[in-house]
Amino acid sequence: MIEKTVAELSAALAAGETTSVALTQAYLDQIAAHNEVLNAYITVCADSAIAQARAADEARAAGSSAPLLGIPIAHKDLFCTAGVKTTSGSKILHNFISPYDATVVERLQAAGAVMLGKTNMDEFAMGSSNESSYYGVARNPWNLDRVPGGSSGGSAAAVAADLCAMATGTDTGGSIRQPAAFCGITGLKPSYGRVSRWGMIAYASSLDQAGPLCKTAEDAAILLNVMAGVDEKDSTSIALPPEDFTATLNNSLKGLRIGLPKQHFTSGLNPAIESAVRNAVAELEKLGAEVKEINLPNSDLAISAYYVIAPAEASANLSRFDGVRYGYRCENPVDLEDMYKRSRSEGFGEEVKRRIMIGTYALSAGFYDAYYRKAQKIRRLVKEDYARAFEDVDVIIGPTTPSPAFALNSMKDSVTMYLEDIYTIALNLAGLPGMSVPAGFVDGLPIGMQLVAKDYAEATLLNVAHQFQQVTNWHKKKPVLTTSEKTTEA
């Protein structure tokens, strides 16, 4: 049962074939069997999950039938969860029990989802491998010597290994799409403002966006229906007409115009990924789509602009961690400045400190125009590239990543790792919705195809991805978990 999709579980619960308590226990058993090795969860909430499951079963007996009622979910550990430890993958929040729920958590709870626990992540979402987590690296279920991707690596690994039915993640430069690609699952980064950021521990506020990590596009649509919506507590969330993202999943792709950016099919791309993505596009052509090459001339500048804007915003956001009101405080500070400096230096990991330093430098007196303002101008050029492209096409398709999941400890420095996000970062600068869907295997590892649509056109992405998944089986492939005598087939 645990290998089923959210849509299938929802139907099974409605038909009385199982109960939320049984289902939740099955996932808890799977977690008990495999989390020690995968390290996908930082915190498991077994008792409260069973209590929530019992409440869901009672609600169903009393006539409720919401699509997510009783379905077990995992939340990335940067969503605040009332009464539950919320670390953002950092030592500095090792003892932080959130006093409130993030809006996303609240909405999913109100929809009846059962929270299994909090998933592992790169510290403060800064990373593409999960290696910067203070709580140890999460591992890729397809190959334990490989990274699951990041920063939402724990969520992606948990979905791929059936340690939950669905998960939340956040995406600032690719942090949903890249781990989804590495773990062979479906991940959606909604348009900026589509989902409330309230209660998400901020990394870069003008880029961060929450979204679902699931087994199928249909599941992502079901989840987005609940996650999306304007929120008074997040002034950057946008009031859009309510939409049922499942309603258009079965639309025909006849006449759909697909653009392939030539900058995303260059020499840096693994040739086996290129051919997998081109084969995937050919499947969409068979469904009636038309394909043309497009031009995104400022693509290669996006990564440079991102590494000004994201660290600049991070340096401001992370100034709140000062050892005064919550979180880690150093031992025996001699004075206030010593307390600030040592609490932060001992509490933050190396990558986080590096990004704070970059951001502080970029925003410091005399450098603002050369860095932050310049980066914001590049950001407009990137946005305009996409706007021009979308005059001629409905969806832009390319690889999610230039290579499959890399080996643990194989990235020799930060910049090498940053370049792994070359295809995903521009979307965050432009605020556009993007998705990664499984599109094949390279060296036994799953790879992803990235779909991009114009502002607020998540329904188009989900429609294309769902139709693709009706004619392909890549999303149904499962890793063989050899870490204990129990298997996923149990």
- Tell which positions 372-391 bind other proteins, by CB under 8 A: 373-381, 383
Q: Tokens 């919401």, residue? A: 66
3-state DSSP call for residue 150?
coil
Of 175-214, binders to other proteins (CB under 8 A) are 192-193, 206
**Within 10 Å of residue 418's Cβ, how many Cβ atoms?**
18
81 phi, psi to nearest 5 deg: -130, 115
- Looking at beta carbons only, is 86 or 152 nearer to other proteins? 86
Q: Report the residue from 44, 180, 429, 459 that binds other proteins according to the rule CB under 8 A.
A: 429
- Looking at beta carbons only, is 46 or 339 nearer to other proteins? 339
Q: How far is the CB of 341 from other proteins (least distance, A)?
A: 4
- Looking at beta carbons only, is 134 or 348 nearer to other proteins? 348
The closest of 421, 376, 393, 429 to 191, measured between CA atoms, is: 429
Q: Report the residue from 449, 455, 464, 474 that binds other proteins according to the rule CB under 8 A.
A: 455
Backbone CA torsion sign across 40, 443, 424, 7: negative
Backbone CA torsion sign across 260, 266, 272, 273: negative
Q: How far is the CB of 10 from other proteins (least distance, A)?
A: 33
187 phi, psi to nearest 5 deg: -135, 140
Q: How far is the CB of 109 from other proteins (least distance, A)?
A: 20
Give ∠ CA 423-427-430 in degrees, rounded to 5. 140
124: tokens are 């403060």
Q: How far is the CB of 258 from other proteins (least distance, A)?
A: 23
Of 312-351, binders to other proteins (CB under 8 A) are 315, 319, 322-329, 333-342, 344-345, 348, 350
Catalytic residues: 76, 151, 175
Of 434-453, binders to other proteins (CB under 8 A) are none
Q: Which residues of 139-178 are buried (b: 16+ CB within 10 A; e: fewer)?
A: bbbbbeebbbbbbbbbbbbbbbbbbbbbbbbbbbbbbbbb
CB 89 within 8 A of CB 76: no
Q: How far is the CB of 374 from other proteins (least distance, A)?
A: 6
Q: How far is the CB of 67 from other proteins (least distance, A)?
A: 29
Cα of 137 vs its chain's centroid, Å: 16
35-43, 267-275, 410-418, 436-444 -> range binding other proteins (CB under 8 A): 410-418
- Looking at beta carbons only, is 34 or 264 nearer to other proteins? 264
Tell me, residue by residue from 30 to 69, as one string, x for binding to other proteins by CB under 8 A and - for no binding. Answer: ----------------------------------------
- Looking at beta carbons only, is 381 or 442 nearer to other proteins? 381
The closest of 206, 117, 116 to 428, measured between CA atoms, is: 206
Tell me, residue by residue from 83 to 122, as one string, x for binding to other proteins by CB under 8 A and - for no binding. Answer: -------------xx-x-----------------------
